[in-house]
Chains A and B, each alone.
Chain A
Amino acid sequence: MSLFTPSDYQAMALSARVAVTATVIAIPFGFAAAYLLVFSPVRGKRVLDGVINLPLVLPPVVVGYLLLLTFGGRGWLGSWLARWHIQVVFTWWAAVLASMVIGFPLLVRSIRLGMEGIDERLLQASRTLGAPWYDTLFSIIVPLSGRAVLAGATLMFARSLGEFGATIIFAGNIPGVTQTIPLAIYNYINVPGGDRMALSLCFVSIVLSFAVLMLNEGVVRRFGRRRSRS
């Protein structure tokens, strides 16, 4: 007898798929946002910083609801996408978007810390040696913040695995489509006799999150060692 039902396995696979997709798509944006915050001379950095960090302090349900309003049939982005017959709400892409918005601040914070640790003189040296800004970006900043990106990505991945509030509002709780592990646990708790199954999934969740945290720790430590040597 298998411990989990097919829909449980679907939930696990979907959780992984959503978290990986959200993280991979978010990395370039996170990098760009951190770059803007650290290196660009633009004004209004504080406002940008605030907007990026808002999902960290807002209740996820609020974020989910705002996403629903934006991407819904009557939302400005939703109605625009509808013209191309694209529907986001209640699809697994909605779960990806919810995870991206919620996890983004964690990603940006981590990359930003890494970038702030780069000695400005290195960038100046690179410029005086003939490298335009984009060359400096790819030859100096990207390699030197690589570990910070990795650390941020694992954090965001872990946060995505646990995403519940925004997902249930924006993507719904459809088994096999948008039902990730947390949503499946929620379902089991609400049906009589589902406690054991809920607990099993909790265990899966704990193992996954712990593994990701360990990985993150390891990456950050190696990063720290490298920095202190240089």
Chain B
Amino acid sequence: MNRLTRRSFLRRTCCTAAAGVAASSFQKLGLVSAYAQGTDYKALVCVFLFGGNDANNMIVPYGNSDYQNYASIRGGLALPQNSLLPIQPKSLSVPYSLHPQFTGLQSLFDQGRLAAVVNTGTLVQPTTRDQYLQGQVPVPGNLFSHADQQQQMQTCALNTFADAGWGGKVADKIESIYGSSFPVLISLAGINVFAEGLVARPIEANGDPTQQLRGFSGSSDDNARLAALQSLLTFGTGLSLVQAASSTTSNALADAKTLADALAQGSGLHTQFPQTDLGAQLREVALIIQVRAALGLPRQIFFVATGGYDTHSYQLNQHDYLYADLNASMSAFYNATVELGIPQQVMTFTLSDFSRTMLPDSTSGTDHAWGSHHLVLGDSVLGSDFYGKWPTLALNGPDDATSEGRWIPTTSLDQYGATLAQWFGVPPGDLESIFPNLVNFQNQTLGFTTG
């Protein structure tokens, strides 16, 4: 009972096996020359904001009456109008604004490199307030719960358990096209289901992903000890969890070495990143992208994350701090892609558990809600615009799931993910196998990318 499944053995050996077939599938698809010239490279970078980002204060209506409506509901959490950073979405006639900390992102929006995908979240199918309140349509399980909504945002599996994420499934598809000698997906925020493929195995690190074993001098008894350590990792004990632990450690030993060797060929970056956890993760991503040729990867997916967004109390101060970091880190990362000469080939996007109630709570914070606004950044983004439908900001209004301003998403996570996946190279016919609810929506993709 309870043995490791065939799949897990498959995925743990896939990289060596896939490397063999890689060359032939390349040739069949005519991809070899572009890849060999280094022109065929794309990276997707997911920035996950753990805790549930209150997007109601990330993007704020700026027109006078719209702002007044916002301010009257937000009360003590309303940002002063004269502190906001105005932006004008191209396809809309009314003005909006960004949080005062988003100075760099405001410029990127103005330059057409940043877009917002608004009121987007987990949806089985298009859902109205009446349908939700009367239980007429299926909705995602355990709404408003952190763990469940994080899981759903990372897997698109809304009512079933899934141990593979949509990032990992995109990696599966990419590996089936390009092959892979090294994991396509790297998480620098530890283990997250987003990164797990059905076949593809991610690298999941926190802190330094090139950390190696200490204490081996090269002496004969140290060599014997190292050989024993490696040998012990190969023993089947009949205990499933021992095998699982050995797989992780074996992969770690190999990955750290490969990554360290590749990074040693990098020339470093001039771009300055903020001295924050998120800044450090994005800097590491840029350094890895710099040595993409050494790793031999035409496609890479990265997962980075930051926490603290669960702002149940005293939200204004916390948001200043969180958004200052997000703005500086994302801006720096964009600058690094310019320095690397590939701003068109890297697309950065945000995800979060959910947004938060429009109505403040009694401790100057907000509670768990649903549909949220997300940011997409890169030179392949059709920027300066909003995608999706802005919600009606009214308590008990047509978009409110309850009476505290929990917006029912008007665009689905599946559409958002599918747009990114298609840009990345997943054939349109394969999108539904990764995004299971896509079939329930009229437009499968949102059109916020070029190419």
A binds B: no
- Give B residues with C-beta under 8 Å from A: none
**A positions within 8 Å CB-CB of B:** none
